[in-house]
Amino acid sequence: MEYRYWRDKIIKAKVIKIWKNVIYLETKDKRKCYLNINDVSDYHVNLNSMFKINSIKEVIVLTIDRNNDLIVSYKNIHPKEIRNPFVFKLDKNNAKFDALLDFTLKGIRYGK
């Protein structure tokens, strides 16, 4: 029951500790949260510049571990941190939008 309550819930948590690959956060009701560097961004980031001790961050709950601590993600609700799988440049010489249509159709097929 508790897992279903927390799963995909967006919460606010305070940054408690920043390590090399993990950020430790805490909810208002003192529940521990763990944010792995892979769930911060698809890009190379400096955790100390993105997260400051005692700052409040909005994260989404991915799962609960066996100690009842929350495993969270930052990038899942902050789209700027997710890498775009497509590269597109509009051809300035041939702006008939065929290339844009092709790109859009590839994106639709990718999402299936």
Taking the whole predicted model, whether its pTM rises above 0.75 is answered as no
Radius of gyration of the chain from its Cα atoms, rounded to whole angstroms: 19
Question: What pLDDT band is residue 55 in, cutting at 50, 70 and 90?
Answer: very high
Give the β-pairing of 70-73 and 56-64: antiparallel
In the prediction, which pLDDT does 25 show?
Answer: 97
In this structure, which long-range contacts are made by residues 46-49, counting pairs with CB atoms below 8 Å and at least 24 apart in sequence? 47/18, 47/20, 47/23, 48/18
Identity of the residue numbered 93: N
CA 4 to chain centre: 20
Q: Tokens representing 27? A: 């909810």
Contacts of 74 (CB under 8 A, 6+ apart): 35, 39, 40, 41, 57, 59, 81
CA pair distance 19, 74, nearest whole angstrom: 16
Question: What pLDDT band is residue 14 in, cutting at 50, 70 and 90?
Answer: very high
Is pLDDT above 70 for 94?
A: no
CA pair distance 11, 70, nearest whole angstrom: 11
Is pLDDT above 70 for 64?
A: yes
Mean of per-residue pLDDT scores for the chain = 84
